[in-house]
Amino acid sequence: MFELSKNILEKVSFDKTLFRKELTKAVKWLKPDEKMLLMVWCISIYGNQYKDVISEVFKNVTKS
């Protein structure tokens, strides 16, 4: 699921709304350790472009 999530996010990275939607879905499906890996990957690849989206989605994840 982790690799699939990365592939999907790469394909929708042209659109902020789609990126947020797919990232939110991904964190619901992934195991806790995979969520951390995805967060690190997102920050390293898309941190400059979608920092606000990544922060928002993972802030909600870490609270639950």
Geometric angle at alpha carbon 51, from 38 and 62, rounded to 5°: 50
Alpha carbon distance 64, 49 (integer Å): 26
What mean pLDDT, rounded, does the chain reach? 93
The half-sphere exposure of 10 on its side-chain side, counting CA atoms within 13 A, is 9
pTM for this one? 0.90
pLDDT band at 61 (very low <50, low <70, confident <90, very high): confident
> What is the reported pLDDT for 63?
58
Is the pLDDT at 64 greater than 90, yes or no?
A: no
Is the pLDDT at 55 greater than 90, yes or no?
A: yes
Q: What is the mean pLDDT of residues 9-31?
A: 96
Closest by CA to 57, choosing from 31, 20, 11, is 20
